[in-house]
Chain A
Amino acid sequence: GAVVSQHPSWVICKSGTSVKIECRSLDFQATTMFWYRQFPKQSLMLMATSNEGSKATYEQGVEKDKFLINHASLTLSTLTVTSAHPEDSSFYICSVRQRSGAFSGNTIYFGEGSWLTVV
């Protein structure tokens, strides 16, 4: 079954409005979640790392005030696209990290993604 739930799957909004996307970890507590953006036929680009109870860490070139990230609990992180513009239209995907003792490493699971269209 799904490890990560993302909502909404599709959203259309008017230019200038704000949109919130939720990412929930279903099977385990996630102190760290990641937000990616993917344009058509391109790879995933990390936008920010969301840390529970603290400020998110943004990648270079990503506007902190435009893409607000809140990680209020161990199972929920939200991404809010503020004052959306048509160029923000994209596929937004979250992921969560699960520690795996067998490998002394970890694996990362992705949500189903959220398609944002700004008109």
Chain B
Amino acid sequence: QKEVEQDPGPLSVPEGAIVSLNCTYSNSAFQYFMWYRQYSRKGPELLMYTYSSGNKEDGRFTAQVDKSSKYISLFIRDSQPSDSATYLCAMRGGNEKLTFGTGTRLTIIP
């Protein structure tokens, strides 16, 4: 079993829809949770960063962490074609090593 599981998609939704992206994990030591957006042939760009359980909102993006269920989510409201990218969840414990999900390819259809 992988430490971090993420549905690779692809996921296609119409413009304006709410997008829900999810990851599950097995390592209870993970404390820091991140979502990265990666455009084709580019490096990952940090979108959201949360520590422990709870919600965090930034503009159209909301990150949720449920440590009891070992489940994290990223919601994108009012999705735009420019949101089309691969979204990677990542997490780490007390050390500095990040563990990534496989990424979900998202396409927003105009």
- List residues of chain A with CB under 8 Å of any chain B CB: 4, 6, 32, 34, 41-44, 46, 49, 91, 93, 95, 97, 103-113, 115
Q: List 20 A-B contacts (CB under 8 A).
A: A4-B43, A34-B98, A42-B102, A43-B88, A43-B102, A43-B103, A44-B44, A46-B97, A93-B43, A97-B96, A103-B49, A103-B51, A104-B51, A107-B34, A108-B46, A108-B96, A110-B36, A110-B44, A110-B45, A113-B42
A109 to B98, CA, bound (A): 11
Contacts of A93 in B (CB 8 A): 43-44
Where the two chains meet, the residues of B that have a C-beta atom closer than 8 Å to any C-beta of A are 8, 31-32, 34, 36, 41-46, 49, 51, 88, 96-98, 100-103
Cross-chain contact A32 with B96 (CB below 8 angstroms) = yes
CB-defined contacts of A115 to chain B, threshold 8 Å = 41
Contacts of A95 in B (CB 8 A): 98
Determine the main DSSP class of A at the interface with B: strand
A49 to B34 Cα, complex, angstroms = 19
Q: Let me know if B43 and A6 touch, CB within 8 A.
A: yes
- A-B interface pairs (CB < 8 A), number: 52
Classify the interface of chain B: helix, strand, loop or mixed.
loop
Q: Chain A residues near B45 (CB, 8 Å)?
A: 110
Contact B34 A112 (CB under 8 A): no
With a CB–CB cut-off of 8 A, which chain A residues contact B32?
A: 105-106
Whole-angstrom distance between the Cβ of B94 and the nearest chain A Cβ: 10
Contact flag A108-B34 (CB < 8 Å), given A43-B103, A97-B96, A113-B43: yes
Question: Which 4 residue pairs spanning A and B have beta carbons closest together?
Answer: A113-B43, A110-B43, A112-B43, A43-B100
Q: Complex Cα distance A108/B98, Å?
A: 9
Q: Which of A6, A32, A42 has the most CB of B within 10 A?
A: A42
A113 contact from B36, B41, B103, Cβ within 8 A: B41
Determine which residue in A41, A97, A115 has the highest number of CB atoms from chain B within 10 A of its CB, and name it. A41
Chain B neighbourhood of A112, CB < 8 A? 42-43
Knowing that A105-B32, A106-B32 are A-B contacts, what are 12 other residue pairs whose CB atoms are under 8 Å apart, sorted by A's residue number? A6-B43, A34-B96, A42-B102, A95-B98, A97-B96, A103-B49, A104-B51, A107-B46, A107-B49, A108-B34, A108-B98, A110-B46
